Structure 1
């Protein structure tokens, strides 16, 4: 039975995967996107053909493919029985020759795939057959989803591969100018084959190791993701429908060698959601309470537009915590921090953790900082997000004024770097691409959804993401407290007990619960 109470009878030949609970889960996810309205869809691994046939009935222009010839035959027969062209079903799949051989020449609005998620058998246990054995080989090589990821071949624009000018001297070109070939790559991203620019991918995966790695693997290639449906079994196994899309695909991307402040620049210029600018050097960067912080060549500094339009009831406390979680995930993905990770990629035994309200710390010091700023002009409001990350240790001239400023700042807040923590180099380009994806996962609605107008804005999306992640964010704070002292409120040590719906830290002070809305109200001693 389909989500809209339709019954589709199918013949299930040998070695063809029959409709099961995961089939229903995928159908529910597709149903949530509304009727097809002529949108183009591709089902990979169509099995019995039930999903593709039902999608065509719902006015999707659905094609299908499968590596199993029996499944192809079954799906073609089902298409014919329901009046759909059987030639829309092809044999093959990602990783098998040119995309056109198994997907045709379309740009699809929606691609769905119920991934093979069986675990490899223990010892010499018998498999179902050669096709299942092939699927297991793909799992051992990093998962079948990697075949699709590699087939898409998108090249997302980033600040190191676009035309740059110095924003302090707009007519002066800087050293990061790109070649004509790189400009062509940006165009390729905007119109790549197989998936439309605003296309959506739905992958069904399990809570096993391969499933847990999907979001991070795709984020490192510039894809945002969000779990939109799930179900669980009595044995504890969980199944998820993961939505994937190109992060902030409509956004403007800029990069400079030097700038006074990336946040200040975007507050003045504005732009679409996700428009960003990154800088190698930031001369007047700042943190909370207007603390000065200079970004040098061993650091990462980038800002994003979160809102540029009518006045909103934006909650900066929520946004800062979500941005911190996005930064934590991006770093964990890039450093392959797998020990103790949950399904969302958070490393419970990690070297880094969130500190309320806007920092990432290691056991030794501050690694990254987040700052939300806004500007209002009449009925218009612009909100930007700035993130700075210490990539490696910076050696400064101790006699310089800027060095003395940093020394004073570092004495108050000891610092650390990704290179020092993980003994590996994370490039600006890698961090920008991955962080852009994890941020879009929280602040951007997945495309192809049919949403009421009140749910399409940044406020609704931030509220929804924050509600889903609030418990995880507070858990991250408790990990910080395992390695650092509790905060002081009015000179008295207090115990954080929760984070409320506004992003405020709730502490117990003299037997009473107190909501803290500013970091200036607390003192955080450092061991």
Structure 2
């Protein structure tokens, strides 16, 4: 048995007992504690999976949560109980042996928060050296979707309304546990904290059922999905998916042509853009998030494109003074085609043959991750929104795509808070706000 000191802002100092095979408090533990301290809702009933030494459960209890704390390692259970009792948390923390994947284990009724520092070491290959079984369960991920997928599957038949799941993922290099599995299953995510530790990027994500599980509206035919969204309720997460529209429109009033099987959807966002960012930055951020999930590129400011510059879809934000909030329209081709003699691509060319329903769940989750107003989860950080946007724009630039302003080649150096391009030409940095003034060469 060894002792470790845990002391960070809001939590500790605590002298922690850590037995052999028990995961000790490390940088990722502090990262997770910083993330849970950012939660904004009323503390009630929480679960920690893989409690290890008990530090995260003690942090949750400090924030007012009553915690059911679990670990499959009996030594971790003993350590957690000792540490919990030493600092007087035993009336708010119950420590038990068990966890995801264990027979008979389930999330206790009434739980509003689940927290898990996911094991993210690569699972050992067959015949390769491995940890002891108890250590393996607490430190190594599984194959085929990882422990994250195990948790997701365990929640499939539960009532997840009002439930927030806070999970620490390794996102670079990507682990078998992948946040995208949650998106395609109807969940949304928002980054609470991130940090690069050595060669690994760790992210703490808050996950919730998109729209609190409220089902989207559906129409076979309408004049315009954007116009239909205007008449939706002024509260909650409102969106509509249409099979066909008579007068669909893109930027500057251009017609949007679609085929059966394409995604045509609009969202009525019942809050002002200024609560989160600027309309221009929101448009690029949403496009950037969707392009990452659909494995395509983003052309500034709002086009989803293939690596060869073929248009796949577009994002449009619309608002007027007579209606509160704003609306988002998203159209995405399902398959390649020619439109007006111009070659276009579809998601089948970047992701393969996946269903319209899956694409909608992914897109809905991405829009929600940036815009949905939640009691428990704070709004997205402006810095993270800018990072999503610039990362998406940089993908094509890194492959040698060139931009021209007028007849002059320019170098894209960034985007400003309004979503305008920052470019360098003849040694000067200028701001470009009009997308039609820039020509892209693929």
Cα deviation, residue 216, structure 1: 1.2
Cα deviation, residue 152, structure 1: 0.8
Q: TM-score, normalised by structure 1?
A: 0.73
The change in CA–CA distance for 1:98 and 1:304 in structure 2 (over 3 A counts) is farther
Cα deviation, residue 278, structure 1: 0.6
Q: What's the counterpart of residue 390 of structure 2?
A: 471
- Partner SS state of residue 256, structure 1: strand
State how far apart, in whole Å, the 1-side matches of 2:59 and 2:421 are: 48
Cα deviation, residue 477, structure 1: 4.8
Query: Of the candidates 394, 403, 414, which is equivalent to residue 486 of structure 1?
Result: 403
- Partner SS state of residue 366, structure 2: helix
- Partner SS state of residue 376, structure 1: coil
- Partner SS state of residue 208, structure 2: strand
Query: Of the candidates 259, 268, 278, which is equivalent to residue 222 of structure 2?
Result: 259
Cα deviation, residue 59, structure 1: 2.2
Deviating more after overlay: 20-29 vs 502-511: 502-511
State how far apart, in whole Å, the 2-side matches of 1:468 and 1:446 are: 22
Cα deviation, residue 21, structure 1: 2.4
Query: Of the candidates 269, 281, 294, which is equivalent to residue 232 of structure 2?
Result: 269
Q: What's the counterpart of residue 347 of structure 1?
A: none
- 5 Å-filtered alignment, 1:119-130, equals 119-121=122-124, 126-130=129-133
State how far apart, in whole Å, the 2-side matches of 1:474 and 1:388 are: 19
Is 2:25 aligned against 1:19? yes
The change in CA–CA distance for 1:514 and 1:309 in structure 2 (over 3 A counts) is closer
Query: Of the candidates 346, 351, 371, which is equivalent to residue 316 of structure 2?
Result: 371
The change in CA–CA distance for 1:125 and 1:446 in structure 2 (over 3 A counts) is farther
Is 2:332 aligned against 1:414? no
The change in CA–CA distance for 1:471 and 1:26 in structure 2 (over 3 A counts) is same
- 5 Å-filtered alignment, 1:263-302, equals 263-269=226-232, 271-272=234-235, 274-302=237-265
Query: Of the candidates 33, 38, 45, which is equivalent to residue 32 of structure 1?
Result: 38
Deviating more after overlay: 295-304 vs 203-212: 203-212
State how far apart, in whole Å, the 1-side matches of 2:320 and 2:349 are: 37
The change in CA–CA distance for 1:508 and 1:230 in structure 2 (over 3 A counts) is closer
Unpaired segments of 5 or more residues in structure 2? 1-6
- Partner SS state of residue 116, structure 2: strand
State how far apart, in whole Å, the 2-side matches of 1:270 and 1:523 are: 40
Q: What's the counterpart of residue 110 of structure 2?
A: 107
- 5 Å-filtered alignment, 1:305-454, equals 305-308=268-271, 315-332=278-295, 352-362=296-306, 363=308, 365-377=310-322, 380-393=323-336, 409-411=339-341, 413-422=342-351, 424-444=352-372, 447-449=375-377
Greater percentage in strand? 2
- Partner SS state of residue 391, structure 1: coil
Cα deviation, residue 466, structure 1: 2.8
- Partner SS state of residue 192, structure 2: strand
Cα deviation, residue 488, structure 1: 4.5
Cα deviation, residue 426, structure 1: 2.2
Cα deviation, residue 295, structure 1: 2.3
The change in CA–CA distance for 1:131 and 1:292 in structure 2 (over 3 A counts) is same
- Partner SS state of residue 118, structure 1: coil
- Partner SS state of residue 140, structure 1: coil
State how far apart, in whole Å, the 2-side matches of 1:305 and 1:43 are: 35
Residue-by-residue CA offset, 1:246-293 (whole Å, 9 max, x unaligned) = 223276620111111111111243533641101111111011121112
Query: Of the candidates 87, 100, 103, which is equivalent to residue 97 of structure 1?
Result: 103
State how far apart, in whole Å, the 2-side matches of 1:313 and 1:242 are: 18
Is 2:14 aligned against 1:69? no
Is 2:178 aligned against 1:214? yes
Greater percentage in helix? 1
State how far apart, in whole Å, the 2-side matches of 1:435 and 1:294 are: 19
1:505–1:515 contact (8 Å) kept in structure 2: yes
State how far apart, in whole Å, the 2-side matches of 1:50 and 1:421 are: 43
The change in CA–CA distance for 1:314 and 1:114 in structure 2 (over 3 A counts) is closer
Residue-by-residue CA offset, 1:467-510 (whole Å, 9 max, x unaligned) = 3334313313515x735x63442x55544333222111233456
Is 2:55 aligned against 1:50? yes
Root-mean-square deviation (CA, aligned residues, Å) is 3.2
Cα deviation, residue 90, structure 1: 2.1
Aligned residues: 434
Q: What's the counterpart of residue 515 of structure 1?
A: 431
Unpaired segments of 5 or more residues in structure 1? 155-191, 333-351, 395-406
1:273–1:308 contact (8 Å) kept in structure 2: no
